Amino acid sequence: MLAYQVVELQQRIQIKEVTLDEQHTKLYEVQNHLRDLASEHSVLQKSVAEVQTRNRLLKQEYDSLLEQHQNTERTYRQEKLRSSEILENMILPKQQAAVRMNHRNEKRVRAREASLHKELQMAASKNVNIIEESVNMSPPRPSSRPSSPKSDPSERLERSHGPLFRSASATSPRIISSIRGLFERKIRGKSVCRSEEDLYIPLGVCLVARVPTKAIFTMDAHELGINAVRFSTNSNLLATGGTDRVIKLWGIEAGTLQNRGTLDGSNEGITSIEFDPTGTRILAASYDKSALFWRLEDSVPKVTLTGHSRKVTAARFKYSQRQVVTGSADRTVKIWDLQRAACIQTIEVLSFCSDVVCSEYLIISSHYDRKIRFWDSRAGTCTQEVPLQGRVTSLDLCPNHRQLLSCSRDDILQLVDLRKSNDRVAFRAEGFKCGSDSTKAIFSPDGSFLAAGSADGAVYIWNVNTGNLEKRLPDMHRASISAVAWSLSGEYVVSVDKSRRAVLWSDI
């Protein structure tokens, strides 16, 4: 019995051992699986850490981009608001200019109507012939009666233009149309296109220019700074152009400047002025990218020349008054036909053009790249370059067209002999300083002297023959002098500055 129990216990032990082995095997497998899982867990943890790091970087980048976007959007709104304000500021002056122009036109219309009414009253007060024939502006008819030098002016007018009146009533519309036709006939007689005005007429000659010694009159001539001044061939009339967008005409009476009228029509400041040889027409360059042409009897431009993309710095008549030459900051020189108000030639230059002078086929331009260029206008080609040491601000031709004067920012005036371009004379003076990129220097009308305004408010005059400083006119200006002009009679000099002041100089 005991042996049986031992055998049974051994069997049970064997079974337990088998079970234990199985459990050990399972435990080993589980441990291996656990190690695999732990390894996989470690890999996944690393992946999670990398993803979190990338997410943090992306979040930082997103926050940065969001901030940039907000700043850009804020800047965009500000710029949009600013552009709206700028647009309004640009439109407002044009609207104001249009209102001023309309107001001036209304004043001119009223003045003309008043003048016409006065003429009608004068005509109605005179004895006139009552003629029942139709009214027209017929040519003069031969008369069998001898003419009397003391005949009434109305009779002479009637003989020269034919009958003006159908009835003696001053309110007849036929009278108004007849007189208006006469006025229009007079205006048409002064058209730009008339052949007798196409060429220069002989000018007066200044035998001896007198060097001014004192200021005889001073005034604030414009509302803003003055950029240009020019005498007409009539030495008692001059024009000034300013940043206030108008040209003012002045007469010299008893040593003073008396206002003779205003020419408007420019949308921005005037940069240069030139009279034609008749002294009845004015050409001006403007900051509004155009050149404008007036007749003195009209306050609005007869012709406006547009085509430059930046400010026009200079405008000059050619020998044939049908054509005009302009220089601009857009690096072009243009030739215009006044009759058609159209550009007929564009010359591409290499630098900002500060001034031009011209003859029939020669154009000379000055530039900010310190060069003076000579152009053949027939071919549009540069025939010569003259280098200088400073940025060139202005040019002027001697009255005999044999010498060229330049002013530059190195505070030197250069005189170039056009017959021998290598022959040059430099004019300097202690204290003289070219005050701006548009400072003008000029010849005296007899070609014996040079004059230029300085940044110190004084006018300097040099003797061409000796090369020495002839006169320094004392400081009457409060700011840098922008331009000077010398009357054709040789007895007056006018200087203008950036602070609105004009000074009349003479030796009288």
Do 443 and 487 contact (CB within 8 A), yes or no? no
pLDDT in tens, 240-297: 999 999 999 999 998 999 999 999 999 999 999 999 988 899 999 999 999 999 998 8
Identity of the amino acid at 503: V
Half-sphere exposure of 492 (CA within 13 A, CB side): 28
The candidate with the shortest Cα–Cα distance to 285, out of 326, 320, 317, is 326
The candidate with the shortest Cα–Cα distance to 229, out of 461, 492, 502, is 502
Q: CB atoms < 10 A from the CB of 278, how many?
A: 15
User: Hey, CA dihedral for 93, 96, 98, 100, is it positive or negative?
Assistant: negative
The DSSP letter of residue 350 is S
Query: Among 2.130.10.10, 3.30.1390.10, 3.40.50.720, 3.40.50.2000, what is the CATH number of 214-506?
Result: 2.130.10.10
The candidate with the shortest Cα–Cα distance to 299, out of 276, 272, 270, 266, is 266
Which range has the top average pLDDT, 2-11, 88-97, 309-318? 309-318
Domain boundaries, the chain: 1-116, 214-506
Tell me the two tokens of residue 301. 């431009």
Q: Tell me the average pLDDT across 332-339.
A: 93
Question: Residue 44: CB partners within 8 Å, gap ≥ 6?
Answer: none
Q: Tell me the average pLDDT across 343-364.
A: 92
What number of residues does the chain have?
508
Residue 350 to residue 258: CA distance in whole angstroms: 43
Residue 321 to residue 244: CA distance in whole angstroms: 28
The share of the chain scoring above pLDDT 90, in percent, equals: 59
The DSSP letter of residue 351 is S
Reduce the secondary structure of 153-170 to three states and give it as a string: HHHHHHHHHCCCCCCCCC
According to the model, what pLDDT value does residue 134 have?
Answer: 38
More confident residue, 377 or 196: 377
Report the relative pairing of strands 312-317 and 323-328 from DSSP bridges: antiparallel
pLDDT in tens, 190-205: 444 343 344 444 455 6
**Residues paired with residue 372 on neighbouring β-strands, in sequence order:** 366, 386
Q: What angle is formed at CA 315 by the lines to CA 340 and CA 362, rounded to 5 degrees? A: 90
pLDDT in tens, 402-446: 999 999 999 999 999 998 767 789 999 999 999 999 999 999 999
According to the model, what pLDDT value does residue 364 have?
Answer: 96
Identity of the amino acid at 85: E
Residue 193 to residue 255: CA distance in whole angstroms: 37
Residue 486 is inside which H or E element, if any?
strand 481-486
pLDDT in tens, 143-186: 333 333 334 433 433 333 333 333 333 334 444 444 444 444 33
Phi, psi (degrees; rounded to nearest 5) at 143? -120, 140
Q: Is the pLDDT of residue 463 over 70?
A: yes
Do 439 and 453 contact (CB within 8 A), yes or no? yes
pLDDT in tens, 29-62: 999 999 999 999 999 999 999 999 999 999 999 9
pLDDT in tens, 129-142: 544 433 333 333 43
The pTM (predicted TM-score) of the whole model is 0.62
According to the model, what pLDDT value does residue 131 have?
Answer: 43
Tell me the two tokens of residue 142. 């031969």
User: Hey, CA dihedral for 178, 179, 183, 186, is it positive or negative?
Assistant: positive
Do 503 and 217 contact (CB within 8 A), yes or no? yes
Question: Residue 419: CB partners within 8 Å, gap ≥ 6?
Answer: 402
Structure confidence at residue 396 as a pLDDT band (50, 70, 90): very high
According to the model, what pLDDT value does residue 11 have?
Answer: 87
Identity of the amino acid at 374: F
The candidate with the shortest Cα–Cα distance to 185, out of 153, 155, 156, 160, is 160
pLDDT in tens, 465-506: 999 999 999 889 989 999 999 999 999 999 999 999 999 999
According to the model, what pLDDT value does residue 37 have?
Answer: 92
On average, the pLDDT of the chain sits at 83
The candidate with the shortest Cα–Cα distance to 254, out of 217, 288, 292, is 217
**Helix 173-188 with 2-125: angle, nearest 10 deg:** 110
Rg (CA), the chain: 43
Could you give the maximum distance between any two Cα atoms of the chain, in Å?
191
Tell me the two tokens of residue 161. 């233009």
According to the model, what pLDDT value does residue 359 have?
Answer: 85
